[in-house]
Every structure is written in C-alpha cells, then in structure tokens.
Structure 1
Amino acid sequence: MKYIDKFHPDNFYHIFNHAVGNENLFNSHENYIFFLSRFEHYIFPIAKTFSYCLMRNHFHFLIQVRNENIIRELANNTDQDFDFHKFIMQRLSNFLNSYAKAFNKQNNRKGALFLDFTKRAQIQDETYFLRLINYIHQNPVHHQFCKTAADWYYSSYNSIISLNKFSKLERDAVFDWFGGIEEFVSFHQREKFSNFDFLDL
C-alpha cells in the first residue's frame, strides 16, 4: 500500500481515520447520520464517492477527486499557482472539525477526536478496486458486529444494491467494475474475509 502525500485531480483514493485512544466516533444513530451529512456538505462537492463504512471508532471512504476545473470553480480561484492539494485538505479538515466540534459539545468533552493524520492511498488497479470495496463493506463483519455486509446499516452496501433508493453514490461505476449487481452481491458473499491482509491499517 502506497500512501500519497498529495491529492491530484481525477485520482481515486482510499481515505480513512480513527478515533484517538479508546474513544468512539459515534455513540448513537444520530451521530452516524450527522457525520454523513457533514461528509455530503464538505466532500461531495469535491469528490465522487464509491463506497464507505462507518465503524464505532473509525471510518473508510473510496472517493475520486473531481477535475481541476470543478475544484477551481468551487474555490473561486483561477490563479496559476493554485494549490490543489491544499484546498482538498482544507475541505477534509473542515469536514472532520465540524463533526468533532458538534460531537464534543454534545458529549461535554474537549480535545481532538480524530488522529492527526487522515491516511489516504491512491488506487490505480481495477482488481484492487473490487477488493477494496469489499474490504470496506466487510469491516463490520471482520470486527464481529454483524454476520454479513448487508446487516450493517452504516455502510454503502445497501444503498448500492437498493436501486430504487435515491443515492449520490457512484453505483453505475461500481456495478461496471464488478460486472453487474448480481456479481457485486456474489463477490461480497463469497469473499468475506479473504482480503483482510492486503491493507496495512
């Protein structure tokens, strides 16, 4: 796994972070929903989202940063020396900080909630996409919170397969990678734990 120092336009990234110490990021259903609302506000404008999973003390997202023209328009910046990476990092920081402030206020706590460094790994290999999406969805199974990926409410698995449900997830692209919804479901059913040694988290 190669960790990348900078975000670049149109590239795919696995981003993930963990609560500090033995803290939890989420203590209630409302916490999970609010976290996703903050993600939608700060990250959807700058990146397409292909999968995610929120666990009690950590999270995973697979995203594709949008093209430079879209980012520049959002930043209202046409300067030649525009720092693309810095702008994406600021949005990511604003996202996590906005959630942490609300969480701290609700729980009467102070200090950092997330680890200082949100890890990000660039994804380029199509086979890796399949394994990574499955890995993300199988996290709660791996940690023994549920028996199947479909049982965990706070991941993108059910939103992806629920075709009648409005979603901002890139479902068509996910199905293209897997070869259709049937293969997407089948892959998750037969590959529950086999790929949990390919990431160094």
Structure 2
Amino acid sequence: MKYFDKFHPDNFYHIYNHVGDENLFRKHDNFIFFLSRYHKYIYPVAKTFSYCLMPNHFHVLIQVRDEKAIRILAKNDNDEFDFHKFIMQQLSNFLNSYAKAFNKQYNRRGALFLDFTRRKEIKDEFYFSRLINYIHQNPVHHGFCQLPSEWDYSSYNSIISVNKNSKLERNVVFDWFGGIEEFVEFHKKEKFIDLEI
C-alpha cells in the first residue's frame, strides 16, 4: 500500500496522521484551533469533502485545486515550479503552526505528530463514497459515540445542515451519494467499512 503519493492538480487524496501515546486534542478549543489553522493553510490549496478529528489522529478527504489557482497563490509562473513541494509546504505549515501553539499551551517540547503525514490518492469512485463513510464512522468505531451525528468534530453534521453555510463541498458529496437522504441512509446502513488504509 502506498502512503505517500505525490500531490497533483485536481486529484483527490485521503490525508491522515496521528500522535503517539498522548492526545492531539485535549479540549474543545484545541479542535477549533486546529480547524482554524486548516482553514488558513489548506483551504486555499484544496477543496474539502469530509474530515474527522479524533483525540489522537485525524482524517481528511480533499481535492487539490487546479494548477492555475495554485500558481496564483504561490505567485510563481516558472516552468520549474514544483507543485507537489508547494502543497507539502502548506501541509507542513499547517501542522507546525498547530504543534507550536499546542506545545506552548501545554508547556511541552518535541514533535507532536508521530510520523510523516500519510496521503493516499483516491482514483476509484467506489472507494470515494466508502472513504467518506469510513471517516465519519471513525468515532463510532473507536467507541466515542454510537452515531456519526453525535461526534462534534467531523464534517457529518456540517454536510447535512444544509441551511448553514459551509466551506465543505457539500453539493458534490450529495451528488456522489444521490442526495442528502441517500447520504444519511448510506451512513446508517454501512456502519463501518475497513478500507485497509
């Protein structure tokens, strides 16, 4: 299984990372701050379809934005522009900014994340819908709740709350499942699918 696929324009990726024996998030404010850092560094370079923040790890499903948008952001139109390297730098800035703030808040030292952030390119439509479900079912699978809707730190409730603004690609997700009712029903029917990530 390949865990470190290169980033390319318009492609979909499952991104995930975890920490060792301690928690990545110790209280509600940590989750919120993490999402604010995500919005600052990742939203400009990628569209987000689903996410889940667990106490000691996280999952995100993204689509990298097109090359033109990334070059504008990078202010770089050179032929030698390294697309993958730029996206990796944004990802690194995101995680480092969270880790520095976390270390300062809890008076700790050293790396927060256990290893390199894993990224798997998603090429299969069948896998796409199952990955969204897998991400939302994570807190259920790990015993933190009984339903995806009971976990405050995933995209599940944001996706189904159609009357609230969201930066998630909600309409694309609904199109993928066939509508909001089908989205909800899929999550009820398929409790947890081990995708062997």
**The TM-score by the shorter chain falls in which range?**
over 0.9
Match of 1:151, as an amino acid? E
1:28 alignment partner in structure 2: 27
SS in 1 for 2:16: strand
Structure 1 residue 54: Cα displacement: 0.1
Quote the offset at 1:96 in angstroms: 0.1
Q: Counterparts of 1:132-147 in structure 2 under 5 Å?
A: 132-147=131-146
Query: Is 1:176 paired with 2:182?
Result: no
TM-score between the two structures when normalised by the length of structure 2: 0.98
Whole-angstrom CA distance in 1 between matches of 2:103 and 2:86: 25
Letter in 1 for 2:136: H
Amino acid at match of 1:170: E
On the 8 A contact 2:5/2:121 being kept in 1, the answer is no
1:7 and 2:7 aligned: yes
Q: Which residue of 2 aligns with 1:104?
A: 103
Map 1:111-130 to 2 at 5 A. Answer: 111-130=110-129
How much has 1:4 moved relative to structure 2? Answer: 4.0
Any stretches of 5+ residues in structure 1 without a counterpart?
none
Which amino acid is the alignment partner of residue 37 of structure 1?
Answer: S
CA deviations on 1:26-56 (whole Å, 9 max, x unpaired) are 0000000000000000000000000000000
TM-score normalised by L of structure 1: 0.96
Aligned twin of 2:58: 59
Q: Does 1:45 align with 2:53?
A: no
AA matched with 1:53: C
Number of equivalenced pairs: 197
Q: Unpaired segments of 5 or more residues in structure 2?
A: none
2: distance between equivalents of 1:188 and 1:5? Answer: 28
- Identity of paired residues, percent? 74
